[in-house]
Amino acid sequence: MVRFSKKVISAAGASLLASTIISGAVQAEDTIKVGILHSLSGTMAISETTLKDVMLMLIEEQNEKGGLLGKKLEPVVVDPASNWPLFAEKARELLEVHKVSAVFGNWTSVSRKSVLPVFEELNGILFYPVQYEGEESQRNVFYTGAAPNQQAIPAVDYLLEHEEVERWVLAGTDYVYPRTTNKILEAYLKSKGVSEEDIMINYTPFGHGDWQTIVADVKAFGSAGKKTAVVSTINGDANVPFYKELGNQGISAEDIPVVAFSVGEEELAGLDTAPLVGHLAAWNYFQSVDTKINGEFIETWQVYTGDDDRVTNDPMEAHFIGFNMWVKAVEKAGSTDVDSVIDEIVGVSVPNLSGGHSTMMPNHHITKPVLIGEIQEDGQFDIVDETDGLVAGDAWSDYLPESAKLIADWRKPLSCGNFNVTAGSCGGAATN
């Protein structure tokens, strides 16, 4: 069981510690540097800043337990500022200039895609903590957020079974995660007998603010006499005006429920939740999970930040899991050597905050429970449905023909992220 201290450190103090304080008795070469690659400004700061903070807390906790391999961990924080090309530059800075042993970061898939070539070229390690569209398995990346079969598909199943939804609005921000996820969901819905005319797909730019026309279109789409729901892959601060406009136009959860994949406790903390009550979110963790380890984590987080109202959320838990997996793999390897850690981390199992243990699979995805939560007036979630056990993340969707034939397994001798079982070779589609 992971134990947490009760040490109070202000957020400002933690940031100062991260950037400037290194004990005079400990030289740089005697520390293990850990990169933190999250947007602290721009449209994604609403979601990512708290992930930087939780990483600083986890590193501080590990140092209080004696560090790692007899050395202190030294956080190195950079701000890619919600600028997707800048993510690649900052990743290169962390690996080449600061020589970090691992990086914890990114939120959007476009930012992750931006840094993938850097981690491959420089043989770095990235722990990616956010739900994503799948269709990827990279040797240097560990996906601790949900794949579509750990979030999107179960959310649709819930709406089909419990809400008897017949018409579907797939609304997303215009980039790779929503487009690919909706491609999978469209194929899945059609496999369930949903007609094309009962599926509406809409995309908006990052930071989109004028939702009046779009919400009116959703309302009209839902007036055809069939139960309608919105599946939302809207990211970042665009969620604030989106939910506000739903309320302005009188759309309640009873009328057209919204299930979101990128709205959690942190985002709700900045919203008037009154018009959101009853709408849904699908995650693998909620702050309202009632377990001893989660209670300890919440208490430690609020003490650490000096704020009794500071919330926790799913990507924070993903960093908690990923960080502890990395620590355990380093201890097993006896080194921070990247190749050794990559070999040792498959099969590593650590506690999650829902009361079970999550395991790193050969495809570099982890096992997670799937939870459906209903928004409450206080910005928390009432858990209305959950899987019986843990679900293993699937890197390649069974509902896309070109992906159904692919598997990922980074263990020797296969060592491949897209092995084509039809062709019997690594590297994609079968040849005719």
For residue 355, the model assigns a pLDDT of 86
Separation between Cα atoms, residue 286 and residue 315, nearest integer Å: 10
Spans of the chain, pLDDT less than 70: 1-29, 428-432
Tell me the C-alpha to C-alpha distance, in Å, between residue 362 and each of 54, 57, 341, 425.
27, 29, 13, 17
CA neighbor of 36 nearest in space, from 64, 67, 15: 15
Report whether CATH 1.20.1440.120 matches the domain 11-146+289-369. Answer: no
281, 287 Cβ separation under 8 angstroms: no
CA neighbor of 36 nearest in space, from 283, 407, 341, 323: 323
Separation between Cα atoms, residue 284 and residue 260, nearest integer Å: 13
For residue 255, the model assigns a pLDDT of 94
Q: Position 219: which residue type?
A: K
The domain at 149-288+373-392 falls in which architecture?
3-Layer(aba) Sandwich (3.40)
Tell me the C-alpha to C-alpha distance, in Å, between residue 333 and each of 69, 260, 264, 343, 357.
10, 39, 35, 9, 21
Q: Position 80: which residue type?
A: P
318, 144 Cβ separation under 8 angstroms: yes
Separation between Cα atoms, residue 57 and residue 305, nearest integer Å: 9
The structure's pTM equals 0.88
Residue 233 main-chain phi, psi, to 5 deg = -115, 35
CA neighbor of 392 nearest in space, from 372, 366, 419: 366
182, 172 Cβ separation under 8 angstroms: yes
CB atoms within 10 A of CB 395: 24
Per DSSP, the three-state class of 355 is coil
Residue pLDDT, tens place only, 410-421:
999 999 999 999
For residue 274, the model assigns a pLDDT of 85
DSSP letters along 152-163, please? HHHHHHHHHHHS
CB atoms within 10 A of CB 220: 10
Separation between Cα atoms, residue 191 and residue 193, nearest integer Å: 5
- Tell me 366's DSSP state: B
Helices 45-64 and 314-333, packing angle to 10 deg: 40
Tell me the C-alpha to C-alpha distance, in Å, between residue 100 and each of 71, 95, 191, 348.
14, 5, 45, 22
For residue 29, the model assigns a pLDDT of 67
Q: Position 19: which residue type?
A: S
Separation between Cα atoms, residue 207 and residue 40, nearest integer Å: 15
What is the Cα 303 distance to its own chain's centre? 24
Q: Position 361: which residue type?
A: M
CA neighbor of 201 nearest in space, from 221, 225, 227: 221
Separation between Cα atoms, residue 64 and residue 125, nearest integer Å: 24
Pairing of strands 406-409, 371-375: unpaired
For residue 328, the model assigns a pLDDT of 98
What is the Cα 408 distance to its own chain's centre? 20
For residue 246, the model assigns a pLDDT of 92
Q: Which residue has the tokens 């620590």?
A: 327
Q: Sign of the CA dihedral 359, 361, 364, 369?
A: negative
For residue 334, the model assigns a pLDDT of 98
**Topology alike, domains 11-146+289-369 and 149-288+373-392:** yes
Domain boundaries, the chain: 11-146+289-369, 149-288+373-392, 400-432
Q: In sequence order, what are the residues at sequence separation of 6 or more whose Cβ sits closer than 8 angstroms to the Cβ of residue 224?
A: 167
Per DSSP, the three-state class of 265 is helix
Enter the tokens of residue 305. 């930040």
DSSP letters along 143-205, please? E-S--GGGTHHHHHHHHHHHS---EEEEEEESSHHHHHHHHHHHHHHHHTT--GGGEEEEEE-
